[in-house]
Amino acid sequence: MTMQLGTVERPLRVAIIGAGPSGFYAAGSLLQQKEVNVSVDMFDRLPTPYGLVRYGVAPDHQKIKSVAKVYERTSADPRFRFFGHIDFGEDIIHADLRRHYDQIIYAVGAQSDRKLNIPGEDLAGSFSATEFVAWYNGHPDFADLEFDLSCKAAVIVGVGNVAMDVARILAKSADELRSTDIADHAIEVLAHSNIEDIYVLARRGPAQVKFTPPEIKEFGELANADVVVAQAELALDPLSAAEAAASTETQRNLEHLQGYAARTLTGKERRVHFRFRVSPVELIEEDGKVSAVRLEKNQLRADETGYLNADGTGDFETIPACLVLRSVGYKGIPLEDVPYDKRSGIIPNDQGRVKHAESGEPVIGEYVVGWAKRGPSGVIGTNKPDAAETVATMLGDVPDIPPAPQPDPTAIDGLLEERQLNFVTIEGWRILDKIELAQGEAQGRPRVKFTRIEDMLEALHAEIHLKG
């Protein structure tokens, strides 16, 4: 006789792949259920949890990181286990999960970035903003990247909030950043930066920017940089003016930009230039690396849906720069044995239930949350209702799913042991967290991060919390 899933005797066994905000909101929602008893195992390829809260949110935006307290409460639930430093597709595969769990949630985010597809994009000195972000946030995979800040200008392509983050980090003085949890290797490089002019390029107009008002407002408060906006570039065509009139957020952005255009320069060390209706068409090379960006000026043209596209005018200009950061959006990457929609870069799904990319048939017992579900949009909090939707779908499916053949939680420990895999438990993470916080306290900073996996494992080695 098979026991009913979701009871105390036979809890619903759920695996979550990815320990970022979307994974944690899904875990939190599952563990809060009163009618169903759930046990959650969360896997992450890094030894540390919290995903983009740790490696994406800007170091000078510490308040946003306090959301981790919510995740700490979730992880304190005795029915929750963390398996850090376990790579899905490598250490543990799809078939393992199907054997040991009744339901699987993919919470893997969007781990790659979109490209500009212009000549010179792969030159030295040209990076995705996400690489720069991961580097200054101490992500172990990016700790060895080298950024050349020896010339006078940097160009950032795109006007979303990630572009705002990287522009601000380049504009701030090392002293302003030193009091944050920015990686030490980044502080060393930024302290010697010669960058004086930071150009942020919008291919469309000021009414179509993706950044939010608090982010653009911060530029007016920078101690070390003036903001430069040309009045002429703020002019709106009638369709853009109509778009602006319909959105208070756009109007607030425009007010901030108008305010900057009216300012006179105060002679600060750096300048952040916001440019509109310009597209990079080529990165120009000198001595094997980027030396300038060739731009084409654009005009806006509505397509049949009313969407305003940027059309080149044939009018070009060149900005010398040794660093180019493209900040044009993240993109998902496919997971082994999991459906993937190449066009949108997401795991195809209906309200979080994974479906086959071609047939549209549901994949029984497999679900998705966060950026992997809806694409790289929204703020951290967006993931809470998003995860709740997926959890509602999962619970509705429980009566119809076949129970996992080997649901015993200890079977997972056995499997990892057999494969001689070291993994970091939630207690292990708490030890790392404590060490980072103590190191931070000694320096008057929120924390000093480990930036190498070996160092994390070494710090845990004497502890029982590195299992394997």
Q: Applying CB under 6 A, which residues contact ligand NAP?
A: 116, 157-163, 165, 203-204, 208, 210, 215, 279, 327-330, 376-379
Closest CA to 82 of 463, 426, 433: 426
Q: Which is nearer to ligand NAP, 37 or 382 (CB)?
A: 382
- In the complex, the smallest distance separating the C-beta of residue 236 from ligand NAP, rounded to whole angstroms, is 15
Q: Which is nearer to ligand NAP, 324 or 416 (CB)?
A: 324
Q: Is 271 left (phi over 0), alpha (psi -120 to 50) or beta?
A: beta
Question: What span, in angstroms and rounded, lies between the C-alpha atoms of 429 and 396?
Answer: 33
Closest CA to 300 of 261, 243, 260: 243
- In the complex, the smallest distance separating the C-beta of residue 327 from ligand NAP, rounded to whole angstroms, is 6
Q: Which is nearer to ligand NAP, 182 or 466 (CB)?
A: 182
- In the complex, the smallest distance separating the C-beta of residue 187 from ligand NAP, rounded to whole angstroms, is 21
- In the complex, the smallest distance separating the C-beta of residue 265 from ligand NAP, rounded to whole angstroms, is 25
Q: Which is nearer to ligand NAP, 213 or 334 (CB)?
A: 213
- In the complex, the smallest distance separating the C-beta of residue 155 from ligand NAP, rounded to whole angstroms, is 11
Residues near 50 by Cβ (< 8 Å), separated by ≥ 6? 19, 20, 21, 24, 68, 71
Question: What span, in angstroms and rounded, lies between the C-alpha atoms of 10 and 322?
Answer: 59
- In the complex, the smallest distance separating the C-beta of residue 328 from ligand NAP, rounded to whole angstroms, is 4
- In the complex, the smallest distance separating the C-beta of residue 329 from ligand NAP, rounded to whole angstroms, is 4
Q: Which is nearer to ligand NAP, 204 or 447 (CB)?
A: 204
Give the residue at shortest CB distance from ligand NAP: 160
Residue 375 CB neighbour total at 10 angstroms: 17
- Edge-to-edge strands of the sheet including 466-467? 349-350, 353-355, 362-368, 103-106, 12-17, 38-44, 80-84, 423-424, 466-467
Is the torsion defined by CA of 235, 237, 242, 246 positive or negative?
A: negative
Q: Are 33 and 12 in contact, with CB atoms under 8 Å apart?
A: no
- In the complex, the smallest distance separating the C-beta of residue 76 from ligand NAP, rounded to whole angstroms, is 26
Q: Are 307 and 284 in contact, with CB atoms under 8 Å apart?
A: no
- In the complex, the smallest distance separating the C-beta of residue 53 from ligand NAP, rounded to whole angstroms, is 11
Q: Which is nearer to ligand NAP, 158 or 370 (CB)?
A: 158
Q: Look at the block and give the residue holding tokens 């009018």.
A: 315
Q: Which is nearer to ligand NAP, 11 or 59 (CB)?
A: 59
- In the complex, the smallest distance separating the C-beta of residue 64 from ligand NAP, rounded to whole angstroms, is 7
448: amino acid identity, one letter: V
Q: Are 24 and 48 in contact, with CB atoms under 8 Å apart?
A: no
Q: Which is nearer to ligand NAP, 322 or 325 (CB)?
A: 325
Q: Which is nearer to ligand NAP, 38 or 200 (CB)?
A: 200
Question: What span, in angstroms and rounded, lies between the C-alpha atoms of 63 and 61?
Answer: 6
Q: Which is nearer to ligand NAP, 186 or 325 (CB)?
A: 325
Q: What is the DSSP letter of 265?
A: P
Q: Which is it for strands 353-355 and 362-368: parallel, antiparallel or unpaired?
A: antiparallel
Residue 261, helix vs strand vs coil: helix
